[in-house]
Amino acid sequence: MNKKPLPPRLAPPLLVILGVVSVFWKLALTKQYTFLASPDLSNQVMPWLQAQVFAIRHWYVLLWDPYEWFGQSLIGQVQPGVASPFTFLLALAPVRDGLIQLPWVHLWFVLIHCAAGLFAYWFFIDLECSAAAAVIGAIFYATAGFCGNTEWPQHLASGIWAPLVFLFLLRTLRGRAPLKSAAWAGVALGLSWLSGHHAPPLALTLAAAGVGLVELVRSRFRRDLAVRLTIVFGVMVLVSGVQSLPAREYGRWAKRWTATGALTWKDKVQYPEHEDSGLRPTDLLHVVIPGGGGLRSDPFMGAVALSLAIFAVWSAFGRREVRFFLLLGICALLYAMARFDALYGWLYALFPLVEKSRAPIVALSVFHCAAAALVALGADRLFAGNDPPRRRAIIKGLIWFGAITLGLFLLMSYLKPAISSGVLDGDSRPGMTALLAVMLAGVYHAWGRGYVARRGALAMRGLLLIIEQGNEVGSGWAHVRDANRMAPVKLLYDTLDIADYLRHQPDPKRVEINDKDIVFTFGDWYHIDTSAGMTASMLTATSELGSWWRNRVQRMYGVNYTVSRTPTREGLQEVFWGKSGIKVYKNPAAFPRAWTVHRTILAPNEWNGATMVNDWTFDLRTTALLVRNGPPLDQCGGEDKVTAVEERPSSVRVKVEMACRGLLVVSDNWYPGWTAQVDGRYQGIWKVNTVIRGVVVPAGRHEVVMRYRPLSVYFGLALTILGLLAAVVLQRRPEKLEPE
């Protein structure tokens, strides 16, 4: 029985996926390698993913993270990607012992690259490239440079929307269903802002705005174009609302750690940080020579792809798209080289988000989108067969490049250690680049002479591209048997017995983690409340309290367990010894999670209040410090009783018996969006001791419920839905082709 062939429209996307999987074979086809062995990924990103996956699999979204720094907004931190559609996709993967497993994270990571390739394929088809050329360009986009070598999922997931943004942006500028296209360009930009780190979507938004501004100046139809651009960026603002509004709120109340120090939103990130996070002119050598993986973002294109991009510029410069992508790529490179680009200084000085992003090198996400478009256009042009002279020149250039690179590589290898080179030392991959360049020249020559059919030449060109990208991608990944490099990942799973012991202790509990023994964010990984975490930021009030490691503040926060190899303070009682050698100690002096007070003292401001909490001798167990004013409380001889405390990630329920009117204090961080009800009636929440929450409760038995119901998230979600609905409504609206 003959098998039915694949539908013509289905085969090219499958080839894109096959090409991406071939480059990422170490992750997709084996269990021997991991990209997660770096400290940031294993200690910070994996716990973030675990906390969110656990929540989604239990049918809620982790807007508030109680597991780090006594509780803070997780969606407001942006980087964890709470609103990212890719985070929800990871939650579909199986878990073991409640923990996400490396092989499934690897497949999820590869799947994001496949999505990048498909986005690019649709874009290049829209540019009227042949299916084969679009496949080659799409594989290149998904596996080269920024997409191929960025290991932080939150950067990758937010950067891969560039092809869809430019697909619809160019459509609207051309007058092809202009209002519909403008709306979907805004949706793609908004999804970029939702999907992870803010730096790639910022670069993408600036690129889209720059393109729109140039066209607005040049166009004869400025009024129509202004309407379209308003729709683009208006829809972007709406769709990104569920992420951008909580981020703006969190920025007002938090500090972030940078090389400059701990900064609030009002503090300026110093320009040297931008210089240090930029691309140097010497790094451009890694556009064609492997070895740029040590940078924050890899500029690698390779000889195979670069030859096609050059051919597109050389042979089709008269085509408007070629000139556009060449200029876009150059502008993105200049943006990435902040230290050497005075124009970047204008952006830094005038646009606060540029100053806050401090990572100009992520503009390579835009550069590689433009480069991939040139690769697709070059492949389409080269194999059209109508330009033999230029094809012969490309062949000669590849042979000379291969010969010179291979010669230098062999010479440097022979002269070691007398002569050393930072590019070639200990790295054999440049030799492979030279060989591939010569092989590609052979493919072009064989096709030009008619020895190979066009389809065969395209297939060999695609295979050489895959080999070259595979020569760079994954070169720095750790093998699972490399004990030194795998140590951070191994510790994630080797501390499960400690977490199991803590889970079986009576609630509520909060744990101090000795970061010399456990670096990763223990609380997020095991969904246990902790007093610290490897995060990029924390609430300013908690930070300025400044002494959360002191006994006084630790007791106030109810830190009743410590995880460490040795005691971190006096009075701790050893209660468990884990197989990793790390122990659990109990702190019997810790306060309960909730207690009552009938006496208050006032501080003139937050700063003085933090000093008073730390240094004054008043009893935090019986007295609450408030700033500027406080509620009237009753003094009585009776005894209050907190009879039950039930905590969930976004709520806390307390049953209390009050002898007279007093203040119920819960040692979780105060933050906008928390509401309180006493027996179903709303009550205001007081900020107690500058950091935690308190509610006034009258005499008698009562149930107090605090819930995290952030207006910023709910209003932002309404804006996101409104933006998506606007795109759907415009899509259903009939439109005629307008003048370009």
User: Within a domain: residue 646?
Assistant: yes
**d(C-alpha 122, C-alpha 12), whole Å:** 10
Residue 599 shares a structural domain with residue 635: yes
1 band by pLDDT with thresholds 50, 70 and 90: very low
Residue 571 shares a structural domain with residue 703: no
Q: What is the 3-state secondary structure (H, E, C) of 410-473?
A: HHHHHHCCCCCCCCCCCCCHHHHHHHHHHHHHHHHHHHHCCCCCHHHHHHHHHHHHHHHHHHHC
User: Within a domain: residue 455?
Assistant: yes
Residue 204 shares a structural domain with residue 310: yes
Residue 464 shares a structural domain with residue 496: no
Q: What is the mean pLDDT of residues 394-401?
A: 81
Higher model confidence: residue 229 or residue 734? Answer: 229
Of 237, 159, 241, nearest to 192 by C-alpha is 159
pLDDT of residue 681 exceeding 80, the answer is: yes
Lowest pLDDT segment from 4-8, 251-255, 530-534, 722-726? 4-8
409 band by pLDDT with thresholds 50, 70 and 90: low
Q: What is the mean pLDDT of residues 648-652?
A: 92
Of 177, 190, 70, 227, nearest to 545 by C-alpha is 70
Residue after which a domain boundary falls, among 586, 609, 642? 586
**d(C-alpha 458, C-alpha 464), whole Å:** 10
Predicted local distance difference test score (pLDDT) of residue 406: 74
Residue 466 shares a structural domain with residue 608: no
- The enclosing domain of 642 has a CATH number of 2.60.420
Predicted local distance difference test score (pLDDT) of residue 580: 87
Question: Which amino acid, residue 653?
Answer: R
Residue 508 shares a structural domain with residue 615: no
* DSSP secondary structure string for all residues of 282-325: GGGGGGTSS-GGGSSS-----HHHHHHHHHHHHH-TTSHHHHHH
Predicted local distance difference test score (pLDDT) of residue 107: 95
522-542: per-residue pLDDT in tens? 999 999 999 888 888 889 989
Residue 517 shares a structural domain with residue 541: yes
Of 69, 66, 97, 68, nearest to 508 by C-alpha is 66
Higher model confidence: residue 374 or residue 515? Answer: 374
Higher model confidence: residue 294 or residue 201? Answer: 201
> 532: Cβ–Cβ under 8 A, 6 or more apart, which residues?
68, 69, 512, 513, 515, 523
Residue 551 shares a structural domain with residue 462: no
Q: How many residues in total does the chain contain? A: 740
Kind and range of the H or E element at 697? Answer: strand 692-697
Predicted local distance difference test score (pLDDT) of residue 404: 79
Residue after which a domain boundary falls, among 586, 619, 634? 586
Distances (CA, A) of 730 to 39, 186, 242: 46, 12, 21
547 band by pLDDT with thresholds 50, 70 and 90: low
* DSSP secondary structure string for all residues of 83-105: T-HHHHHHTTS-EETTEE-HHHH
User: Within a domain: residue 293?
Assistant: yes
Phi-psi region of 690 (alpha: psi -120 to 50; beta: other; left: phi over 0): left
pLDDT of residue 617 exceeding 80, the answer is: yes
Residue 268 shares a structural domain with residue 345: yes
Q: What is the mean pLDDT of residues 44-53?
A: 92
pLDDT of residue 665 exceeding 90, the answer is: yes
Strand partners, 537: 256
686-706: per-residue pLDDT in tens? 999 999 999 999 999 999 999
Q: What is the mean pLDDT of residues 583-594?
A: 92
Residue after which a domain boundary falls, among 472, 500, 527? 472
**What pTM does this model have?**
0.91
User: Within a domain: residue 42?
Assistant: no
Number of domain units in the chain: 3
pLDDT of residue 179 exceeding 70, the answer is: yes
396 band by pLDDT with thresholds 50, 70 and 90: confident
Residue 373 shares a structural domain with residue 420: yes
Predicted local distance difference test score (pLDDT) of residue 712: 94
User: Within a domain: residue 49?
Assistant: no
200 band by pLDDT with thresholds 50, 70 and 90: very high
39-54 in b/e burial notation, b at 16+ Cβ within 10 A? eebbbbbbbbbbbbbb
Helices (H), 11-99: 11-23, 25-28, 39-40, 46-57, 85-90
Q: What is the mean pLDDT of residues 423-441?
A: 75
Lowest pLDDT segment from 71-85, 184-198, 543-557? 543-557
pLDDT of residue 424 exceeding 90, the answer is: no
354-383: per-residue pLDDT in tens? 888 888 889 999 999 999 999 999 988 877
457-511: per-residue pLDDT in tens? 788 888 988 988 888 888 889 999 998 989 888 888 889 999 999 999 988 899 9
User: Within a domain: residue 739?
Assistant: no
Helices (H), 102-177: 102-126, 131-143, 145-149, 153-159, 162-174
Q: What is the mean pLDDT of residues 83-98?
A: 91
**d(C-alpha 443, C-alpha 433), whole Å:** 15
Q: What is the share, in percent, of the chain residues with pLDDT greater than 90?
A: 51
User: Within a domain: residue 543?
Assistant: yes
- What is the average pLDDT score of the chain? 88
258 band by pLDDT with thresholds 50, 70 and 90: confident
Q: What is the mean pLDDT of residues 164-190?
A: 92
164-200 in b/e burial notation, b at 16+ Cβ within 10 A? bbbbbbbbbbebbbbbbbbbbbbbbbbbbbbbbbbbb
Predicted local distance difference test score (pLDDT) of residue 4: 57
What value, to the nearest 5°, has the Cα angle with vertex 80 and ends 74 and 82?
A: 70
339 band by pLDDT with thresholds 50, 70 and 90: confident
Predicted local distance difference test score (pLDDT) of residue 643: 92
Higher model confidence: residue 391 or residue 350? Answer: 350
418 band by pLDDT with thresholds 50, 70 and 90: very low
Q: Provide the residue range defining the domain that includes 558.
A: 487-586
User: Within a domain: residue 97?
Assistant: no
Residue 519 shares a structural domain with residue 416: no
Residue 524 shares a structural domain with residue 434: no
